[in-house]
Homo-oligomer: A and B are copies of this chain.
Amino acid sequence: MYRTHTCGELTLADLGKDITLCGWVQKSRDLGGMTFIDMRDRYGVTQLAFNADDDEMLRARARELGREYVIQVKGTVIERSSKNLKIPTGEIEIRVADLLVLNAAKLPPFLIEDETDGGDDLRMKYRYLDLRRNPLRNNLMLRHRMAQAVRSYLDGQGFLEVETPVLIKSTPEGARDFVVPSRMNEGQFYALPQSPQTFKQLLMVSGFDRYFQIVKCFRDEDLRADRQPEFTQIDCEMAFVEQEDILNLFEGLIRYLFKTVKDIEIGQLPRMTYADAMRLYGSDKPDTRFGMHFVELNSVLKGAGFPVFDNAELVVGIKAEGCASYTRKQLDALTDFVKRPQIGATGLVYLRVNEDGTLKSSVDKFYNEAQLAAWAEAFDAKSGDLILVMAGDADKTRKQLNELRLEMGSQLGLRDKNKFSALWVIDFPLLEWDEESGRYHAMHHPFTSPKMEDVALLDTAPGEVRANAYDMVINGTEVGGGSIRIFQKDLQQLMFRHLGFSEEEAQAQFGFLMDAFTYGAPPHGGIAFGFDRLASIFAGLDSIRDVIAFPKNNAGRDVMIDSPSPISQEQLDELKISIR
- In the bound complex, residues from chain B placing their C-beta under 8 Å from that of A523 are 2, 102-103
Q: Closest 4 A-B residue pairs measured CB to CB? A: A105-B520, A169-B563, A131-B206, A188-B564
With known contacts A42-B208, A163-B549, A190-B564, A520–B555 Cβ distance under 8 A: no
Given A168-B561, A216-B216, 11 further pairs, Cβ under 8 A:
A128-B205, A131-B207, A147-B161, A167-B218, A167-B229, A179-B571, A184-B555, A185-B555, A189-B564, A190-B563, A512-B561
**Surface stretch bound by B, among A239-247, A302-310, A351-359:** A239-247
Q: Does A187 contact B (CB under 8 A)?
A: yes
Report A118-155 residues with CB < 8 Å from chain B CB: 126-129, 131-132, 137, 140-141, 144, 147-148, 151, 155
Q: Does A522 contact B (CB under 8 A)?
A: yes
- Complex CA–CA separation, A87 to B105 (angstroms): 65
With known contacts A170-B571, A188-B565, A137–B208 Cβ distance under 8 A: yes
Report A424-461 residues with CB < 8 Å from chain B CB: none
Q: Do A577 and B577 touch across chains, with their CB atoms under 8 A apart?
A: yes
- In the bound complex, residues from chain B placing their C-beta under 8 Å from that of A548 are 163
Interface residues on A, range: 35 or more
A residues touching B (Cβ–Cβ < 8 Å)? 1-3, 6, 22, 24, 40-43, 68-70, 102-106, 108, 126-129, 131-132, 137, 140-141, 144, 147-148, 151, 155, 160-170, 172, 176-192, 198-199, 202-203, 205-209, 216, 218, 220, 222-223, 229-230, 232, 240-242, 244-245, 487-488, 512, 516-523, 548-550, 552, 555-558, 560-568, 571, 574-580
Q: Do B242 and A558 touch across chains, with their CB atoms under 8 A apart?
A: no
Q: Do A131 and B203 touch across chains, with their CB atoms under 8 A apart?
A: yes
A-B residue pairs in contact (CB < 8 Å), sample of 28: A2-B241, A2-B242, A22-B240, A41-B207, A102-B523, A103-B517, A104-B520, A105-B518, A108-B519, A128-B516, A128-B519, A137-B208, A140-B160, A140-B208, A163-B548, A164-B550, A166-B166, A167-B552, A170-B567, A170-B571, A179-B575, A182-B564, A184-B223, A185-B564, A188-B564, A189-B564, A512-B561, A512-B562
- In the bound complex, residues from chain B placing their C-beta under 8 Å from that of A512 are 560-562
Q: Do B168 and A563 touch across chains, with their CB atoms under 8 A apart?
A: yes
Chain multiplicity (copies): 2
Q: Do B144 and A162 touch across chains, with their CB atoms under 8 A apart?
A: yes
- In the bound complex, residues from chain B placing their C-beta under 8 Å from that of A206 are 128-129, 131-132, 137
Chain B: minimal CB distance from A127 (Å): 8
Contact of A182 among B131, B241, B488, B556 (CB under 8 A): B556
With known contacts A163-B548, A179-B571, A103–B580 Cβ distance under 8 A: no
- In the bound complex, residues from chain B placing their C-beta under 8 Å from that of A186 are 579
Residue of A160, A163, A556, A567 with most partner-chain B CB within 10 A: A163
